[in-house]
Amino acid sequence: MTRAALLVLDSVGVGGAPDAEAYGDGGADTLGHIAEACATGCADRAGLRAGPLRLPHLDALGLGAAAAAASGRVPPSLAARPAPGSAYGFGVERSAGKDTPSGHWELAGTPVAEPWGYFAPNDPCFPPELVRAICAEAGLPGILGDRHASGTLIVDDLGEESLRTGLPILYTSVDSVLQIAAHEEAFGLECLYALCGIARRLCDPLRIGRVIARPFVGRDAASFERTGNRRDFAMPPPPGTLLDRAAEAGRAVVSVGKISDIFAHRNTGTVLKGHGNDANLDHLVAAMRDLPDGGLAVANLVDFDSDYGHRRDVAGYAACLERFDRRLPELLAVLREGDLLVITADHGNDPTFRGTDHTREAVPILAHAPGGAGGALGRRGFADVGATLARHLGLRETASGRAWV
């Protein structure tokens, strides 16, 4: 029996989404624009990288070729052709939106049929009745924020007031999300999680995709930093995801990073969470060493998105990609004959683009099977990933998607 792993590089889009203009994202290209910036000498603030983007292992799997197929151009320093035996293509999302849950759910074979709800583009952004209901149930005299904001910037702006008053900071973005920031020690982590649980239930009728707990520590604006105890409270995915199919067949399932949160803890099996990409990649490598025949591992590496995409830090994003690429051989080394690894993304977050939000983009699809045949996969739907992994594992077919093997 074979095994499978799905690795989502959060926000590593490759441009070329046919409906990008409808989302205000025409011309967005996360990987392409990072590579172009690096070609002109992009250096990070810490001086840890400079010069052309160096991703030899991802490129050997077909990253440059996938980007060229999606956007019509090969990113600088990447190759138009992968190493022999690599299967590559690009994915286009059917679900409306450009957020994490819909991207992951569709990759797992279950596109979102109804559009998400969103908060008003003006500030204050939350319906007054929602704020009143949250405060009443949580016993809060009020909130701070109530606006669209970058998570790090709003903590810089309001963190000291939050510490002084004991009030949490509520904010949103163009995505379907309500985020709640509070001091991990002064407000209390469990109190923050309980508050998010209340907000989650009250946001359900509004079809808000996620409520996210954003704890931070520090004494003042100069020392505030977010901790690794983020938790996503997501709406449950549609029935019949790849994880559901694996669980109903009695297969081992391992969820790494924020996968368990994204899938609302339904059939997510063994949950492994680390703080940052390196820790979660450690978990994935260890899980693949021990995963039994027929097992499925699903992982998300979020640092690309949360630490660099939203902060519009081009050099930091480039360094993060290169750091992952240097470690990719560790993951490839633990794959067995008959295994299938698919590396992809859930949306874009072009750090050269306006604003601080996700961008509607196509995503790379890199499929690696030790000793397997390669080739161009062409344009695929996100759901084709779930359909392919289900067929590879001998599971019941997903409701959407068409397998390429």
Domains and CATH numbers, the chain: 4-113+238-392 (3.40.720.10), 128-234 (3.30.70.1250)
Examine the pLDDT at 151 and tell me if it is beyond 80: no
Looking at residue 199, what DSSP letter applies?
H
Note the pLDDT of residue 79.
93
Residue (of 279, 268, 273) closest to 231 by Cα position = 273
Determine the Cα–Cα distance for residues 275 and 267; give it in Å rounded to an integer: 22
Distances, alpha carbon 231 to alpha carbons 19, 47, 186, 225, 297, in Å: 31, 32, 18, 16, 20
Least confident of 80-84, 106-110, 329-333: 80-84
Q: Is the pLDDT of residue 122 over 70?
A: yes
Of 18, 60, 58, 8, the closest CA to residue 34 belongs to 58
- Choose among 388, 361, 245: nearest CA to 11: 361
Mapping DSSP to helix (H, G, I), strand (E, B) and coil, where does residue 215 land? strand
- Mean pLDDT within 29-42: 94
Cβ atoms of 351 and 304 within 8 Å: the answer is no
Strand partners, 380: 91
Q: Is 400 exposed, middle or buried (0-12, 13-18, 19+ CB in 10 A)?
A: buried
| pLDDT of res. 117 | 92
- Greater model confidence, 4 or 231: 4
pLDDT in tens, 235-260: 999 999 999 999 999 999 999 999 99
Question: Which tokens go with 233?
Answer: 């409270």
pLDDT bin (cut points 50, 70, 90) of residue 45 is low
What's the mean pLDDT in 125-150? 95
Under the banding of pLDDT at 50, 70 and 90, the label for residue 146 is very high
pLDDT band at residue 374 using 50, 70 and 90 as cut-offs = confident
Q: What is the pLDDT of residues 124-137, one digit of tens each?
A: 999 999 999 999 99
> 183-231, pLDDT tens digit by residue?
999 999 999 999 999 999 999 999 998 999 999 999 999 999 999 898 9
The pLDDT value recorded for residue 349 is 97
Q: What is the pLDDT of residue 208?
A: 94
Q: How many CB atoms within 10 Å of residue 366?
A: 25
Mean pLDDT of the chain: 94
Pair of tokens at residue 264: 């609302």
The Cα–Cα gap between 364 and 88 comes to 8
How much is the pLDDT for 114? Answer: 83
Q: Is the pTM of this model over 0.85?
A: yes
Kindly indicate the confidence band of residue 43, based on its pLDDT and cuts at 50, 70 and 90.
Answer: low
Asked if pLDDT for residue 371 goes beyond 90, the answer is no
pLDDT > 90 in the chain, percent: 85
Q: What pLDDT is stored for residue 48 in this prediction?
A: 73
- Evaluated on CA atoms 246, 248, 249, 254, the torsion sign reads positive
Longest dimension (CA), the chain: 63
